[in-house]
Amino acid sequence: MKAPLYSIEGIVVGDVELPPVFEEEIRPDLIKRAVLAIISARRQPYGTMKGAGRQYTAEYVGMRRLPVWRRTINVGRARLPRTKDRGEILFGRVANVPQAVGGPRAHPPKVEKVWREKINKKEKRKATRSAIAATAVPDLVKMRGHVVDHVKHIPLIVEDRIEEVKTTKELKEVLKKLGVWPDVERAMEKTRRRAGKGKRRGRVKKVPKSVLIVVGEDRGIVKAARNLPGVDVVNVRNLNAELLAPGTRIGRLTLWSLSAIKYLGEKK
């Protein structure tokens, strides 16, 4: 199977034989497992401090032989651990139990919980190949929500000069000539402010994914694209299922450099 090769001016300058990976069986189930495994590997374990909510002198004393002022049973109060040696005001307050003010959580998160989901290496590699094949199916790219009405061809393969683009202005003109810019505009328009507490934690905006640019070598393209919303640039050696199918949804709009296609052809 062949595909046209475009210059950065949007002109056909030849054709390219697509590597066998583009004919791989498309497995959405396997791709989903691989993406979730990649996402889970980024989870950082968290939990409460050991002893949180239990740093009090409170003690439950149930011995009847003790004087009334020392024991916590048969004195007309709930049988719960109560503070001691804290003066007249705070003496006898309930503490060290979940239902008490300032007490521990009943079932707090544990740091020993295992968040990571496992997947076999061969399954993960097959998922990546399957996700690559899905990027070459126009119907799947449209179903994902990308604007592809003016895209020159799917899969879109461009000469290696695109790797040398060094400014955002120059890259914008290249994407316009290749028909990809409307999809970047879609990502700009649909960028929105996040609801909830994430705004306090460095996740102020939610940005839709736009075009993925796969190159053989970074010669300036990464800095040129980093300010465009939804646009990602990746070395072909670092491709994975999450980049090709963000959110486990297959069919991301992808732009390939010629050297990246050659690398896929050499890779077994």
pLDDT number for residue 57: 86
Q: Which residues contact 219 (CB under 8 A, 6 or more apart)?
A: 163, 164
Distance CA 181, CA 164 (A): 19
Tell me the whole-structure pTM to 2 decimals.
0.85
User: What's the number of domains the chain is made of?
Assistant: 2
Tokens of 170: 């120059």
**Domain boundary residue, one of 69, 87, 114:** 114
Phi/psi region, residue 11 (left: phi>0; alpha: psi -120 to 50; beta: rest), is: beta
In this structure, the number of other CB atoms found within 10 A of the CB of residue 22 comes to 19
Q: Are 173 and 61 contained in the same domain?
A: no
Q: Are 124 and 34 contained in the same domain?
A: yes
Q: Are 105 and 67 contained in the same domain?
A: yes
Long-range contacts of 134-143 (CB under 8 A, 24+ apart): 134/26, 134/31, 134/244, 134/245, 134/250, 134/251, 135/212, 135/244, 135/251, 135/252, 135/253, 135/254, 136/18, 136/22, 137/26, 137/251, 140/26, 140/250, 140/251, 141/251, 141/252, 141/253, 142/251, 143/251
Q: Are 93 and 66 contained in the same domain?
A: yes
pLDDT number for residue 254: 97
Q: Are 106 and 231 contained in the same domain?
A: no
Mean pLDDT taken over the chain: 93
pLDDT number for residue 155: 93
Q: Are 127 and 251 contained in the same domain?
A: yes
Look up the domain containing 85 and give its range: 52-114
Distance CA 38, CA 60 (A): 48
**Domain boundary residue, one of 114, 137, 158:** 114
pLDDT at 255 over 90: yes
Contact of 187 with 181, CB cutoff 8 Å: no
pLDDT per position as a tens digit, 182-207: 999 999 999 999 999 999 999 999 99
